[in-house]
Amino acid sequence: MTLVMLLAGMTVTACRGDDGGTATALDDATLTANAVVEWIVDGDTIDVMIGDDEERIRLIGIDTPEIAHASSGDRPGNDAECFGDEAKRFTESLIPVGTAVRLERDVVGRDDYGRVLAYVYRAADGMFVNDELMRQGYALPLTIAPNVAWADHFVESARRAEQEGAGLWSACR
């Protein structure tokens, strides 16, 4: 019950900079954490503890290349996509296990796999993890309506990363 109330209380916070543009970190340098990173699954999926409950989190609005997966039961395995391992390592460097984070939700709270959909902020400094992955070239925009609060911003971040040849933009041509 605590988990449901905590998740229901999460809301989207689209912050604006002085110029009216969207900021990549919350204006308040530190945030109240509502989760702690337990495991980095891949570049855009993490496991966290929310109170006493473990939840799998899918970062909204971005898509990182897949890492290799072994076959399991009747599910076939797959090879890693270009830059998949690098994206996972970069996510690990941004929010290593034990990092306090702030999860913010959009309209739809869970995907078809039961994962919580969230924008993730590093609590210590407000760094917007979803956008940092995009800006540094480790992710591509993935907009699935109605979770669109940051969609235009992510597209612009990806456009700049591509122009700069950042990350996958130069490694995976």
Which one from 102, 104, 105, 115 is the annotated catalytic residue? 115
Q: Is 110 a catalytic residue?
A: no
58 is catalytic: yes
Give the Å distances, CA to CA, from 93 to 52, 98, 132, 151. Answer: 25, 12, 11, 24
* 16 catalytically annotated: no
The separation between CA 16 and the C-alpha centre of its own chain, rounded to angstroms, equals 19
One-letter amino acid at 106 equals D
Catalytic pick among 55, 66, 86, 132: 66
Q: Catalogue the active-site residues.
A: 58, 66, 115
